[in-house]
Amino acid sequence: MPEALNQRLLYAGVAIWLIACCATALAAPPPGERKLPSKVTFHDAPSSEKPAAREKRLKRECKGRPNAGMCLGYTR
C-alpha cells in the first residue's frame, strides 16, 4: 500500500511539473519578437473621398433612380 501511494505522489508531482513548464513556455515571447504598437492610427489616402464630395456625388448620381442601396435618401 505505501508503494502505491508513493507512486501516485510521484505521478502527481510529474504532472504538476509538466503543467508548470508548459505554462511558462507559452507565456514567454520568443526571442527577437517585436512588440505590438500601443496605439494604431489610420491615415486617409490622398485619393480618398471627403464627406462633402461624397454628398455631392450621391446627389448627382442618384437623381431619378430608385430609393435603394447607396441612393437611399438621395432621389429627391
| Structure confidence by residue, pLDDT tens digits, 7-40 | 888 888 888 888 887 777 676 666 677 777 788 8
Whole-prediction pTM: 0.37
pLDDT by residue (tens digit) across 37-54?
A: 788 888 878 888 888 988
Q: Which of 56, 54, 35, 34 is nearest to 44 (CA)?
A: 54
Task: Pull the grid cell for residue 59.
Answer: 446627389
DSSP 40: -
